[in-house]
Structure 1
Amino acid sequence: MAEEKKAYDEWMQLYTCDDHHWKVPARYMDRSRVGGQEKKLGKFDRLYPGCVDDLFEGLPTYYCVLCVSKNDSQGAIEKAYERKKKCSVYPEEVLERAYEMLSHNEKRLAYDEMIRVFMKVLLAFTASEKREIIEDHADWLEREKKSVTMEYILENRGAWLYLFNYGAPTFYELLGVDKAEIEIGEVVECKNKNRDIRLAEEICKIINNPQLRFEYDFMLGELNEIVDDELERFRRRMGIWKGRDAAFLMVLKYHDYLNRYGKTMDEHLDWQEYTGNKTFCSVLNIDAGSIPADKREAESFIRNAYRDKERTEEVNLAYSVLKNSRLREDYDWLLKHGKWLSKMHELDIEEAGEAQINAVMEMADVAIRDV
């Protein structure tokens, strides 16, 4: 569990945080006594359009929006902004304002003062007005947390999402257990005697890992609304899983491999004819095992092999792939797993028989074990 929990926590720390700079004052002050502060806030509104409105709408402060501190450098703020553009419920214009205000020292100081003045103005709010803005603020934070959690699952638990979207039974249904009756800390076992033992073991590993179970239950909770909206489509797909434990197991164990294989082949169609007897290494007459582990030494080694070759299109392609450490890593991975993945990739999940699926999974297990 520790490894999964650590990975999840690190992800959440990048994208979510508490709003330490936002606190609605509990005491009340007559509006006549905060008139000067309201004028200051009006001036800020004219100078920095949208920023004051964001505060009144209960949005977290921009420090919280981007998950940065007051002491972070401009470079750190820029990286945070780029991250949040890819994963956030906050509107694009809010993210842009946050970046604009916090990435310039003068504007950042102005924003800090804006927050201070805003909190003064809130003194004149009634209890119900304060409660409303507190609830709006909490709602933004909760929505962001849910969005980021779901994005983490999308990134790291693709097999679960694939199975769900394909109308597959839930893990609990496959095990024959009632989720609501599972006690805290209880070790879940498969009660379905007809279930493939390999599949039962894989699912029990997930359900009995508290972090993975949290993620799976969260996913079910978020996606169950989709079932209500598209019930007919799900009903049509549910039938393909009856008696198809091997197909379910294949998706559960190898989805990430298949996903990477598909992306790699789509991005590098010109690699296909170099994954068999002829490889990029053989084109340059080098032994793959002799390529140094050190990046610079590897580049020098490959450059020397390339130097004396005729500059054909094939030789140039081989050199361009092998000299680039990232491309070489993808290519090496493809050489190690391409044979079984190509066979698995060709399988029709709805039509393939159990024996056919099991044969490919045996190939996969051997290849993965030997790597």
Structure 2
Amino acid sequence: MEGTPTYYCVLGVEKGAAKSQIEQACEKKQGFSSYNDEVIEEAFDVLSNPGLAKEYNKLLFIFEQITKCIPPHEKNELIKNHADNINTEKEYFRMGPILEKYKWYHVLYMKGMPDLYEVAGIAQDSPEESFKKYSDSGSEFMRQIYSLLSDKSFREDYDFLIYFINTHSEPEILEKRKIHRRKWEQIDNQIVEKIILNALNEPFGITNNIFRSRETINNNHDWLRYLPPNEETFLSVLGLERDSLSGEKKEVEKTLREKYRYLEKTAKINLAYSVLKNTSLREDYLWLLENQEIFDALNDLFSTEFDLAEDDPDEIEWEDNEIPYEIIRAFINSISNEEEKPKKNKKRRNAINHTQQTLDEIFEI
């Protein structure tokens, strides 16, 4: 008698619930719950079987009679443990949709990304007015952060996310976050800002961008020499400024022709021209040019080499233009709760959803 909730509480169903309701509740609980899979599956097996459910109800009645006879201090402890279990599950229930909305933010936060209060330079317990008065000042990034934190609904969800991580994560996981934090301090502030906003604004934004980056580079290996961190780009090869390619299609094509006409037709110049004159290729290349440093930074953050070299991350040399497979692996693991999940030592089945299946097929992990 440890105060473990009944199977009805575990699945969140009432007595006499239809099998379809029990199946639906079981599937939902296996997605994200404080109860381990063994308990959830046992609850399903019992409650979905009319005969077993009948016997279980008899046991509950007997248990209720027994508790009337136990010493008060034992009964109080039983009630407390039961209430703690229920409250923990309520926190998991609330965290579910928040985690779904901020998957990437959670993953990156566990990898040391500074929280929004650190970024804003304002204490977490500050009143709403503290953020509102700054929402129209500073850089565009800071204005967005202040605006978010002055939004009551967002702030409640965000504060709960941080609380949940700190409450339900193992101490060693939180210690690792402090170690990873050092790596963020080495990343350019503008890149950090872009990563934070991307993680906040789109649950799968970073994932989709990684897909696009991988596909584009795999189809155009000869672009690698002309992407960051290399200094030379297709723009510099042709002597162009970034703004000169942002106008109307005809104007852009005219600018390219004029530049190309007077240049020596070397392989490098021909490649640059062939890419930039094609609207689709030009868009892909300019997008990579703008985002490649972000992917490289993320790749460094999720590199297993960094995990193993905690004492001196500055000593590590990173491969130029690596495709961030480690990011995908970490993301898959976070979705299926295989590592760094905010849970306490509970063995669970890998809840492989459509997202993970897609990632597995594409990256063959």
TM-score range, shorter chain: 0.5 to 0.7
1:145-176 deviation per Cα after TM superposition (whole angstroms, max 9, x unaligned): 23333443331113422442343332122223
| 1:253 corresponding residue in structure 2 | 201
Q: Residues 85 and 345 (structure 1 numbering): CA distance in 2 closer, same or farther, change over 3 Å?
A: farther
Deviation of the 1:342 alpha carbon:
6.4
Q: Where does residue 232 of structure 1 map in the other structure?
A: 179
Residue 189 in 1 paired to residue 136 in 2? no
C-alpha spacing 1:253/1:122, structure 2 compared with 1 (3 Å)? closer
| Aligned counterpart in structure 2 of residue 136 of structure 1, from 54, 67, 81 | 81
Question: Is 1:103 aligned to 2:48, yes or no?
Answer: yes
* AA in 2 matched with 1:208: S
TM-score w.r.t. the length of structure 1 is 0.52
Cα distance in 1, alignment partners of residues 2 and 113 from structure 2: 41
Give 1:200's aligned residue.
142
Q: Using a 3 Å threshold, how does the CA distance of structure 1 residues 123 and 100 change in structure 2: closer, same or farther?
A: same
Are residues 153 and 344 of structure 1, via their aligned partners in 2, closer, same or farther at CA, if it must alter by over 3 Å?
A: farther
Please tell me whether the aligned partners of residues 198 and 206 of structure 2 are also in contact (alpha carbons under 8 angstroms): no
Alignment partner, residue 336 of structure 2:
none
1:160 aligns with 2:105: yes
* Distance of aligned partners of 1:345 and 1:139 in 2 relative to their CA distance in 1, 3 Å threshold: farther
Give the paired residue count. 228
Unaligned runs of 5+ in 1: 1-55, 274-334, 353-371
The whole-number CA distance in structure 1 between the counterparts of 2:211 and 2:69 is: 57
Alignment partner, residue 37 of structure 2: 92
How many angstroms apart in 1 are the aligned matches of 2:122 and 2:73? Answer: 46
The answer as to whether partners of 2:34 and 2:89 remain within 8 angstroms in 1 is: yes
Quote the Cα distance in structure 2 between the aligned partners of 1:175 and 1:69: 46
Q: Which has the higher contact order (CA 8 A, sep 6+)?
A: 2
Amino acid at match of 1:258: I
* Structure 1 residue 220 corresponds to structure 2 residue 162: yes
Distance 2:31 2:213 in 1: 25
CA 1:346 to 1:146, structure 2 compared with 1: closer, same or farther past 3 Å?
A: same
Amino acid corresponding to residue 143 of structure 2 in structure 1: E
- Does the 8 Å CA contact 1:77/1:99 hold for their aligned counterparts? yes
- Contact kept, 8 Å, 1:67 with 1:80, in 2: the verdict is yes
Contact 2:136/2:143 (8 A) holds in 1: no
State whether residues 87 and 151 of structure 1, in contact with CA within 8 Å, keep that contact through their aligned partners in structure 2: yes
Distance 2:290 2:47 in 1: 47
Distance 1:141 1:264, change over 3 A: farther
Q: What is the alpha-carbon distance in structure 1 between the residues aligned to residue 184 and residue 96 of structure 2?
A: 25
Within 2, Cα distance between the matches of 1:348 and 1:99? Answer: 48
Q: TM-score normalized by structure 2?
A: 0.53
2:3 corresponding residue in structure 1: 58
Q: 1:72 corresponds to which residue?
A: 17
Q: Is the contact between residue 137 and residue 143 of structure 2 (CA under 8 Å) also seen in structure 1?
A: no
Paired residues of 2:134 and 2:146 also in contact (CA < 8 A): no
Does structure 2 retain, via aligned residues, the 8 Å contact 1:206–1:213?
yes
Structure 2 residue runs of 5 or longer lacking an equivalent are: 220-279, 298-365
What secondary structure is seen at the aligned counterpart in 2 of 1:72? coil
Amino acid at match of 1:249: L
Aligned pair in 2 of structure 1 residues 341, 108: CA closer, same or farther (>3 Å)? Answer: farther
Distance 1:72 1:103, change over 3 A: same
Q: Which deviates further from its counterpart, 239-248 or 98-107?
A: 239-248
* Percent of aligned pairs sharing the same letter: 26
Deviation at 1:216, TM superposition (A): 1.2
